Structures are given as C-alpha cells and as structure tokens.
Chain A
C-alpha cells in the first residue's frame, strides 16, 4: 500500500510539473535551447507526449502490471542514457525509480543534461539518485545491474570503461537498448500531414521511433504519398535534399526531396537521417537488413507482416509514432520488468 501511494504521488507530481510551467523545468528548457541542444518546439512536443502518457494514473498501472518478486531486495543500479531527442531516457529513469534501489546512478546524455533531472527536483523520492554527466563523477559501487542505451558498436568500450573504473561488477547484468529506426508498412496508410510530419521529421528524424524505412507493394505508391504530403505540408525543400535527390537519381535510384529529407530506394539510405529508405518488400528481403535495429512497425497489416517474418516485432499505429505509451517496450524489453525479474 505504501508503495502505490508514492507511485501515484510521483505520477501527479510529474503531470503538475509538466502542465503548470514549473520554474525549474522552464529553466531547464531555456538552458537546453540556449545551449543549442534542442529546439523549443521539439521540447514542448516531447513534454506534451509525456503528459499524455502519464494521464489516468498510468505510472501506477505500469508498476502494477509488473510482477514484483517477494524477498528480493533491489540492487544499486546504473543507467547510461543517450539523448538524440529531448527526454528520451525518461522511461528508463522512471523504471529505475519504481524499482526503488538503494542508489540509482544515472549518466545523463551530454545532449540532454537538464530536462530529466528538472522533473524530479521537487519530489521527495524514496530512491537516492546520483545524476552525472561523466562516468568519473559516479561513486564506485561495483553495481550489479546496469542499462545501456546506445549504439551497439560502443557497448564493449563503455562496458570495459565501467569495469575498469569499478563502477560496475565484472558479472553485472546488463540490459542493452539497441533499436535505431521504425518501419512504415504503407498499405492502408491513412495518416494526415501532421502525423506524417511527426513520423518522419519530428526531432529531425533522429529518434528510434522515427520512420527510417517505408515498405510498399511498388515505388509508385510511395511516390504518390510523397507528392500528396508535399502538397499538404507546403514546406520548402532544402537545397541539400534537392541536391542529394538529384545525385541519387544520377546513380539510377528513385529519389524525391521532401523538406530536408530524400525518400529513395538507395540501399544505403538507412545510413543517414537525411534519407528515408523506400523499398518493395522484395527489395527489402534481398537487403538482409539488420532487424536488430528495427524499433517498431507501423500500420502492420497481417498480409504484409507474413512474408517479412516479423511476427516478433512490435506493431503500433502510425498515429503514435512519436507518442509512445508509458509501458512501451523498446526492443521488446520492458525495463521495469527486467529490473524486477532478471
């Protein structure tokens, strides 16, 4: 009973902080803008998405959904956050707080050092939190559980550093977050221009829930969609995207510039946020794309999923592209469940 009261109180505190223009949070927003970390529109959008996610006591519902083993004390936990977008590590931080370890050590991203801590300053948490921006600021604890968010190519390097510094134990359990982009299955797509903008262009398309690939029966469907969105969005195409689209066409690929991105069937499109890969399912299957990096399939109708063999991948409505539910399982993993039950 005690537990649920503070979880509910935390939920209300977060909603109040976001909705009432809390002074500390507003200062953190100003700092983030002044330091060119994020633009204001993206920060406000992220806060609004969290406000929706926290409605109707959802923090408590998430907490109660997870089985809590009896007699297993929470272990000091360390989290390495990576912030391509505002508040991107907040779900992990909340999971860490609900897990309620004696100490929660959080390495904030240098891209987002202000926003997340500002949400908790005025709440008396049962957990002691150590917020740091570089590893050497951590108290050495030989932590037994840690969460890594970031590019898998850097995982070994980070783990070695943390072990050498005795911040984590050599046998520490780790949850690795590794998703990179989402896929839109175009069949029956009914999104409007605003949803389209959020799915592709919000946060400059940097997020793992941003669409990096569109799959369709044929290129013509994608072309028609882009032309329609071009008419509705009425935003100018950047010189860079026009130039890049021309280059890709010269190489023999399909390519259309839209705002600051190029929609193309160039197989290397996934390597940059400037390009969105647009493929037929046949092309996609031939590319043997690293499915570990896929975050989410949007508008996944069953007859498109079957040939892709993506039954295990999460499906979501494109409407939710940048507004995930609180208990959304990145990589199919629920951090809260992992902390309690691993």
Chain B
C-alpha cells in the first residue's frame, strides 16, 4: 500500500484534487482529531473546493500526543521539531520512513540530480539527532549517491581536502552545500570553507536561536560575499517536522512545491474563506506525503503567493497579545 501510494504521488505531474480528496476522506475517517475538527466546523467535503477544506492548526503536532491516523499498525518513529527554551516541541509520528525517504529524495533529485551533484551537509550528524526530519532527509540523499562522494561535513573542520574538491570538478559535478542558515552564516563570516564558484548553497532557514536577527535577504547577501558565489546560486529549502514534503527556492526568491504538495495563502484571521494571490496572508499547506498523519495544515507562517503557485515565506504570524499591561522592551 505504502509503496504503491508513494509511486502514485511520484507519478503526478501536477497537484491532483482527486488524489487529495481521497486523502481527505481517508484522514477524516482515520485521524480522530482531524475528524472531530472537521465535524466541529460542519464541514461537508462534497460541496467544498480545496481552499475551503478544513485545515488543522499546526499546533496539533505539539498539543496532541500521537497525532496521526489510527489503525492496528504500530508507529514508533517520530520526528521532533527543533526546540528553543522550554517551548513544547512538535512531534510527527511516521508510519513508514520509506515514504518520507522516497518522496524527499525524488523532490531533491528532480532539481539537483545526484549524477550531476555532490551533496555536502553542514549539519549535526544523524547519531546526535535521530528525530530530526532534515537530518534524516540529508542522510537519505547522501546515502543514495552512488558515487559515494556526498557526505556530512565535520562541524569542527568542514573544509574538504583540495584533492577531493579537484576530484569533484574532474567528475564534472557541482557541489550542493546544504545547511541551516545560522551555521552557513558563521561559516561565511569565518571563511572557513572554500568551495568552487559554480557551487550551490541551500539554506534551510533556522535563525531563531542565532545571536542576531537577519532577514533572508541579509542571509543571502552574507552567503554570497562569504563564499564568493553569485546570488542566484544561493537557494532555500522550506520544510518542517510537521510536513513530510519540501519546497525549494532556486535563486529567484519563490518556493515551488513538488506535485504532491500544494500551498494556499489566505487573508489573516480568515481561515474559512478562500485563497488570495499577490497579497500577504497566512500560509496553508496540503501535503499528501502526510497521508498517515494530517495533510491539511494551517501554518503559523506569513506568506505571499503568485497565481503560478510559487510562494515566499515572510516570517512568523504575530501571536495574540496577553491580557494586562505588558510592557515589553522590544515593543517600547
């Protein structure tokens, strides 16, 4: 079943409402929390278009222990969101990691085929982070490289040998350097990694724990200068533990989804209304790879979307204020 479903998704050329409808029906029946949510909204799926389907707040992955479709199959694998401080972390139970591996590899290889690229990951190792979806994805991609040249870089001494770089060039391959934004910025500032000028960098976001706030534009400028690469070689990946699919931005500033992922932007505070284009709003995602958890997610991200479906992520939604006189230094 899983194999056939992943093959079905991989075969899609574009997002298919009928497949999404099947997934919606399945999840309304098998994910008890999502089913109750839709019932409470008086949702009648037969009469609704995609943008008026129920979208579960992403907090469900933090607030519900074992948020997933329920059946007799045991599920003991899960991804955890990166946490800061004492904040609750999202937990995404995974029925079968193979589905995630197949689809994330397929998404990556559509854009960066491994026969032409070598992936170098500047991220903590898998052993220390067995519940990180990003690191699991990188491990999958690296292990799928039949040339065996792709690798996790040492965090202490990331610079590959001159001979290794020369070998990559001689093979006619391009380096894809993958890393969290703050780690790459530090590398750029220290100039502790030199890579060929035709390399591509993919930053995965993640600046919230960094010592200073930086916009995506500032990050890209820093990486351009630090690595001596043209701006259009700095790409971004949009992913999170709650989603098993990823969107990529390849230097033009706009993320594009694989065919089994679909995003919508809706006006803030209008979760039950239709989508909007070319205006800032709140990001909603349909991720069919989440077939055994919940595919219809209301995120906490601000975004803007063009009619062709590509989108930009503009930051986090503002959270509602607390009651009382809340003098905050940053606001005052």
Contact = CB atoms under 8 A, between A and B. Distances in A.
Interface of A: 80, 82-84, 88, 109-110, 134, 148-151, 154, 157-158, 161, 177-181, 205-208, 210, 212, 238-240, 242-247, 249-251, 270-274, 293, 295
| Chain B interface residue bracket vs A | 20 to 34
Interface in B307-332: 319-329, 331-332
A251 B40 contact: no
Given A109-B332, A247-B37, A250-B33, A84 B320 contact: no
Given A208-B323, A242-B41, A154 B328 contact: yes
B64 A273 contact: no
B323 A151 contact: no
B273 interface: yes
B329 A206 contact: no
Contacts of A242: 41, 272
Contacts, number: 115
B324 A293 contact: yes
7 contacts: A148-B327, A177-B325, A205-B323, A243-B271, A244-B57, A249-B40, A272-B320
B76 to A, nearest CB: 23
B41 A109 contact: no
A64 B73 CA distance: 75
A180 B322 CA distance: 8
A251 B57 CA distance: 11
Contact of B36 (A88, A207, A249, A270): A249
A38 B326 CA distance: 16
Contact of B327 (A82, A210, A243, A244): A82
A208 B325 contact: yes
B326 A150 contact: yes
Interface string B136-153: 000000000000000000
By DSSP majority rule, is chain B's interface helix, strand, loop, or mixed? Answer: loop
Contacts of A150: 325-328
Contacts of A295: 324
Contact of A84 (B41, B271, B272, B325): B325
Given A80-B327, A109-B332, A154-B329, A272 B322 contact: yes
A134 B327 CA distance: 13
A240 B321 CA distance: 15
Given A110-B331, A239-B271, A239-B273, A82 B325 contact: yes
